[in-house]
Amino acid sequence: ALFISFNISAKCSYRFNNANIKINIYLPILIWWLIYRESLMHIISGHNMTHRDLCGDSSSTTTDSASPVPNSYESLEGGGYSGTSLRSPPAGVPAKQAPPFGYNYPTMHPAYQQNPAPKPNPSPSHGGYNPPGYQPYSQPFPSLSELSSALGGLGGVSELEAETLRPVNLLQERNILPPKRAPPPEPNLSNDLRKVNCSPDTFRCTLTNIPQTQALLNKARLPLGLLLHPFRDLTQLPVITSNTIVRCRSCRTYINPFVSFLDQRRWKCNLCYRVNDVPDEFMYNPVTRSYGEPHKRPEVQNSTVEFIASSDYMLRPPQPAVYLFLLDVSHNAVESGYLNVFCQSLLDNLEKLPGDTRTHIGFVTFDSTVHFYNLQEGLSQPQMLVVSDIDDVFIPTHDSLLVNLKESKELVKDLLNALPGMFTHTRETQSALGPALQAAYKLMSPTGGRVTVFQTQLPTLGAGLLQSREDPNLRSSTKNVLHLGPATDFYKKLALDCSGQQIGVDLFLLSSQYSDLASLACVSKYSAGSVFYYPSFHHIHNTAQKQKFQKDLQRYLTRKIGFEAVMRIRCTKGLSIHTFHGNFFVRSTDLLSLANVNPDSGFAVQMSIEESLADTSLACFQAALLYTSSKGKRRIRVHTLCLPVVSQLSEVFAGADIQAISCLLANMAIDRSISSSLSDARDALVNAVVDCLTAYRANGSNIQPSGLIAPAALRLFPLYVLALLKQKALRTGTSTRLDERVFSMCELKSQPLQQIMRMVHPDLYRIDNMTEQAALHLNDSVIPQPPLLQLTAEKLTREGAFLLDCGSVMYLWVGKCCNETFIRDVLGFQNYASLPSNMTEIPELQTTYSERTRAFISWLLESRTFLPAFHVVKDDASTKTSFFQHLVEDRTESAFSYYEFLLHIQQQMSK
Amino acid sequence: MAFTFAAFCYMLALLLTAALIFFAIWHIIAFDELKTDYKNPIDQCNTLNPLVLPEYLIHVFFCVMFLCATEWLTLGLNIPLLAYHIWRYMSRPVMSGPGLYDPTTIMNADILAYCQKEGWCKLAFYLLSFFYYLYGMIYVLVSS
């Protein structure tokens, strides 16, 4: 009781000092509140602690009074309560003297001491473990115990830094683009650490040198954040099965290569600096089959590992893979012909759907009514059940609408074969998407799983109906663009309900007219789904879209999937998470709830520095993704990134990762354009460049005053920002359909970094004169390496053929006077005139010229999951505008050229 | 010394402000709990949203009372908050139900900090106005 009263008085003084309030009457209320809070925390932390004591490593899995949501996955991944209060004191507490809350340590310490005393050390030569005065145990672990001091200091590194800091006068440097896509900057770490650090494809930070304080970060005027691609397809991934997953007892961080071993029995957490015991099991190394070398375990050797989780990490038995397909069968949908493509694609990939013997599948179609399909094993043919009461949609029968794929495979095949023909003569033009989604939710809520929605028009009936909001006359207005946000919160609420029941909703929108993607996309955004959009899709008139749809479906149906997932991002004490970007629901300050997780989605996180990092030289970030695999295994994928902390502004600039910065800024700009306005977002982007370059100029003393100076690390910053401003998502003045704009926003927010960069600043190559010089030789094939060209029409010549790689689409632009050999040997036509205007692939010809070109293109596509649409663009065709809009350095009617943009920045800076 | 309508207004405002102070404290607690991870944002928004309109209506109600009692100074002191409430409710996110808080954006650090600050400021305002109404009541009672 004494303890609590002390806490209260301490807290009261802080609170009221803060708010400048003189109180006397209200003290009782506040005291009541504080007591209530204290006791709540007491219960919680006490509960957690006892649980941990019992099962060593798990955290609370039961639903106690403190966790109001019964199926809280938060508690599973662990970390919530006691950890957070230690890590991040409530806002406003003066960071320095913030004492760890009293209730935390008293419960912690006894628990800590209650642990069975460490057993006598098995290898006596190591001297054993003496609690009162142990000897620093540094000999066998030289690299690990000296981790924090193991910063670079190598000769090469400082040279590297000098290079990235070299001042560049942007106005004079014409060829600013490197000849090859530049690799991300290497953090300035010692070789040992660099070797084990997380791959930049998975985990990237905008500043590879973390500034020590928020003040320093503010001085640099660069955003601090992480770009994550956590569920990426990996070729090599250490999977660890062990009874105890070793985690820090206070912040629940998973053991990782950047922890330090104080001695053989104890390790120090690199995020919260708590000293933990090494459990017995961890002493044995399954890889080398040796005992007593905890620092050689795979967890400590790899920064990306996957654990097979025990039942401590489950709230319910792992769910089976459940797939529900929700198909639009209105007249419009049948007319577009997507049903045929989809059914064929699913038939082809039915065996390859990720899952096991428990996999369930179901179909629902809808127009103005909702149709269910009974696929019960033993029926001679699928049975269609129509629910026409869309105001109060119900599930007609409960057991046989979602069926086991193995048992009912024949019926599923029958249905898929019959579906395209069933609605050919439909006259129904209405679409009751809202009620169909509600039905899907009801159908799926007992299990969770994935709902795939195919929609071809604006929903016009029942709950969630939408009106057309787009005014075609305003498509190219330079003023504000309206209706970027949802018109109704129906889809958002539904998504939150779905997320709560572990249902992810993926949306395929195939429409030629406005369908209000801004509202519809919410259903995927908050349930961690993905959005696909095929504007003006038609199976005959638009073959390029059809091929893209086929390829995407192929990948979509067969890609890996994780169910009932949560992702927690932990970072070194002092850093905190500010905002998340991507498709998910934010459950708490550092926890994302992901009903489904797919290998093609990326996330961005904005960070802030709450406490000075002066007493540490390394900052670490750990992303832990807990999910159920399609085989019904609970798994945890853990990525850890380690970066140096610096105290000098110049070092912050030297470590800037311009691609990551651009992606994070893009995410921030999109948030801004929805919450405020598009013009605000555009201004903010320009200001980001202006501020940053001003900050650099103010910092550098030896720089000549004229010109626009940027450090070499940031020399592409203005170019990327200009490219962002010319994206469909953010451009003004050029005619852009609202749906395409919103889709572009969705893509920028949910794609991984590589994909965004290709989209924002595509790669341009000249491919009609590729030589074998500097070519790559991989497995007997020669892959020419043409240099990257700047995105300006100046680089194009009529004599050449150019390949523009925009990520989701590729253009091959053929000039009027392109040499005939190229047209004949690569494209398979006699001359330029005979080239058709709608070619969508390169024929496989048996000439070296063709082989070389195809080798190059397939090399570009190698690491990509979704294959791009391919267009051959003739110089005189009407489609060439879609090619030329990607040449971002050129002037358009409504936007600056690159040089003008630089002058604009310079002008802004001198203001 | 007489019991006028103005005095009645002040007494009523005194009681209602006490209620508003409870509202403000409740908000502060709720956002603090969100920040420290105790609660699910969906539940928290569901409990907070129904409280927003009553709070605004109570405030509007005694503003109207002061208008009727022709207490111009008191009304003038309350008008900025009234205007703020109207602005705040006009610029709320797209929602079908009443309320201000959207569980999908509430965890954004900026919004959370804003809401917390708003709560503290309101608490301060209500506390000060509580004493002001007490003073006003006595003054009206004594002077009339």
pLDDT level of residue B144 (50, 70, 90 thresholds): low
Single-letter amino acid, residue A615: D
Span B82-97, mean pLDDT?
92
Average pLDDT over residues A485-504: 94
What's the pLDDT score for residue A778?
A: 80
A137 pLDDT more than 70: no
CA neighbor of A319 nearest in space, from A353, A358, A357, A351: A358
The pLDDT, as a whole number, for residue A563 is 95
In this complex, the residue of B29, B37, B102 whose CB is nearest that of residue A589 is B37
Looking at residues B76-85, what average pLDDT do you find?
95
Other C-beta atoms closer than 10 Å to the C-beta of B43 total: 14
Chain B residues inside the 8 Å CB shell of A486: 94
Q: What is the pLDDT of residue A68?
A: 35
| Averaged pLDDT, A662-678 | 93
Q: Which of A58-72, A162-176, A336-350, A814-828 has the highest mean pLDDT?
A: A336-350
Confidence of residue A55 (pLDDT cuts 50, 70, 90): very low
pLDDT at A329 over 80: yes
pLDDT score at A31 = 46
Q: What is residue A182's predicted lDDT score, i.e. its pLDDT?
A: 81
Residue A763 clears pLDDT 60, i.e. is over it: yes
Is B96 in Cβ contact with A493 (below 8 Å)?
Answer: yes
- Whether the pLDDT of residue A795 is over 80: the answer is yes
**What pLDDT score was predicted for residue A175?**
82
Q: d(Cα A879, Cα A877) in Å, to the nearest integer?
A: 5
Which of A282-286, A596-600, A743-747, A829-833 has the lowest average pLDDT? A282-286
- What is the pLDDT averaged over residues A588-617? 93
Q: Check CB contact of B134 with chain A, cutoff 8 Å.
A: no
Contact yes or no for A803/A812 (Cβ under 8 A): yes
pLDDT value at residue A473: 82
Q: What is the per-residue pLDDT for A645?
A: 95
Sequence-distant (≥ 6) Cβ neighbours of residue A407 within 8 angstroms:
A377
- Check if the beta carbon of residue A178 is closer than 8 Å to that of residue A790: no
pLDDT tens by residue, A880-893: 888 999 999 999 88
Contact status of A539 with chain B (Cβ, < 8 Å): no
* Interface membership of A70 toward B (CB under 8 Å): no
Q: What angle do CA A671, A672, A675 make, to 5 degrees?
A: 85
Confirm if A758 and A805 have CB atoms less than 8 A apart.
yes
Side-chain-side CA neighbours of residue A75 (13 Å) = 27
Contacts of B96 (CB under 8 A, 6+ apart): A488, A489, A490, A493
Per-residue pLDDT averaged across A407-428, rounded? 92
Query: Which 8-state DSSP code applies to residue A236?
Result: -
* B110 touches A at CB < 8 Å: yes
- Averaged pLDDT of chain B: 92
How big is the CA angle at A708 (ends A702 and A710), to the nearest 5 degrees?
65
- Mean pLDDT taken over chain A: 81
Contacts of B109 in chain A (CB under 8 A): 576-579, 589, 608
Q: b/e string for B112-139 if b means 16 or more Cβ within 10 A?
A: beebbebbbebbebbbebbebbeebbee
Q: Which of A520, A527, A481 is nearest to A504 (CA)?
A: A527
Amino acid code (one letter) for B100 = L
Rounded to whole angstroms, the Cα distance separating A3 from A103 reads 8
If you average pLDDT over each of A30-44, A57-71, A168-182, A523-537, which comes out highest?
Answer: A523-537
Closest CB to B109: pick one of A30, A40, A578: A578
Which chain A residues are Cβ-neighbours of B115 within 8 angstroms? none
The pLDDT, as a whole number, for residue A77 is: 65
Instruction: Indicate whether B102 pLDDT > 70.
Output: yes
Structure tokens at A709: 């100076």
Percent of chain A scoring above 70 in pLDDT = 82
Contacts of B117 in chain A (CB under 8 A): none
Nearest to B40 among A26, A40, A69 (CB): A69
Choice among A86-90, A570-574, A899-903, B114-118 with the minimum mean pLDDT = A86-90
Q: Is a pLDDT exceeding 60 seen at residue A857?
A: yes
* B34 chain-A contacts, CB cut-off 8 A: 588
Residue A835, pLDDT > 60, answer yes
- Beta-carbon contacts of A408 under 8 Å, excluding residues fewer than 6 positions away, are A361, A375, A376, A377
Closest residue of chain A to B116, computed from CA coordinates: A91
B37 versus A836: the higher-pLDDT residue is A836
Please give the full DSSP string across A395-441, using - where no structure is assigned. Answer: -S-SSSSSEETTTTHHHHHHHHHHHHHHTTT-------HHHHHHHHH
Confidence at residue A783, expressed as pLDDT on a 0 to 100 scale: 87
Would you say A618 and A258 are in contact if contact means Cβ atoms under 8 Å apart?
Answer: yes
CB atoms within 10 A of CB A647: 15
Q: Residue A757: pLDDT above 50?
A: yes
Q: How confident is the model at residue A161 (pLDDT cuts 50, 70, 90)?
A: low
CB contact under 8 A, A21 and B127: yes
Q: CA–CA separation, A257 vs A299, rounded Å?
A: 7
Look at residue A122 in the predicted model and tell me its pLDDT: 37
Give dist(CA A282, CA A302) in Å, integer. Answer: 15
CB-defined contacts A:B, below 8 A:
89
Report whether pLDDT(A63) > 80. Answer: no
Query: Does A71 have pLDDT greater than 70?
Result: no
Which string of DSSP letters, residue by residue, matches A324-373?
A: EEEEE-SHHHHHHTHHHHHHHHHHHHGGGSS--TT-EEEEEEESSSEEEE
More confident residue, A545 or A116: A545
Least confident of A146-155, B24-33, B108-117: A146-155
Band of the pLDDT at A289, cuts 50, 70, 90? Answer: confident
**What length does chain B have?**
144
For residue B20, count CB atoms less than 10 angstroms from its CB and return exposed for 0-12, middle for 13-18, buried for 19 or more.
Answer: buried
Pairing between β-strand A709-711 and β-strand A809-814 as defined by DSSP bridges? unpaired
Tokens of A812: 């091959």
CB contact under 8 A, B120 and A44: no
Q: Which residues of B touch A674 (CB under 8 A)?
A: none
Q: Of A70-84, A697-711, A740-754, give the lowest mean pLDDT range.
A: A70-84
Averaged pLDDT, A711-718: 91
The answer to whether the CB of A64 falls within 8 A of the CB of A70 is: no
Q: What is the mean pLDDT of residues A577-585?
A: 94
Residue whose token pair is 């939150």: A496
pLDDT tens digit sequence for A431-487? 999 999 999 999 999 999 999 999 999 999 999 999 998 888 888 777 788 889 999
Task: Closest CB to A526: pick one of B40, B104, B110.
Answer: B104
- Which amino acid is located at A553 in the chain? L
pLDDT band at A33 (very low <50, low <70, confident <90, very high): low
How distant is the Cα of B16 from the closest Cα of chain A, in angstroms? Answer: 15
